[in-house]
Amino acid sequence: MGNKHNVTSVNGDKYLKGIAIDIVIFGFNENQLKVLLLEYRSTGLFGLPAGYILKNENLNDAAKRVVS
């Protein structure tokens, strides 16, 4: 994935404090509802695509950045 922002080392000066974005992507396959989940490296844990919002960034741009 091309995400340039490492969420494990968030610099408080670049991001809005206390605000993050989670993305839910729904799909259907063979009459079943599907939700996109990402697996965290070497943990066996799954979660929604998520990230922090940069200062001066609108929510649509943040969402696009998180899923790219």
DSSP 7-39: GGG--TTTEEEEEEEE---EEEETTEEEE--EE
Element (H, E) at 52: strand 50-54
CA angle 60, 62, 64 (to 5 degrees): 70
pLDDT at residue number 68? 87
pLDDT at residue number 8? 44
pLDDT at residue number 11? 58
**Mean pLDDT score, 17-41:** 94
Averaged pLDDT score across all residues of the chain: 86
What confidence tier does 13 reach under pLDDT thresholds 50, 70, 90?
A: confident
Q: Smallest Cα–Cα separation from 53: which of 44, 68, 63?
A: 63
pTM value > 0.85: no
Q: Could you state, in order of their start, the residue ranges of all structural domains in the chain?
A: 7-67
Is the pLDDT at 5 greater than 70? The verdict is: no
pLDDT at residue number 4? 53
Q: Give the C-alpha distances (Å, rounded to integers) separating 24 from 13, 45, 49.
A: 27, 17, 7
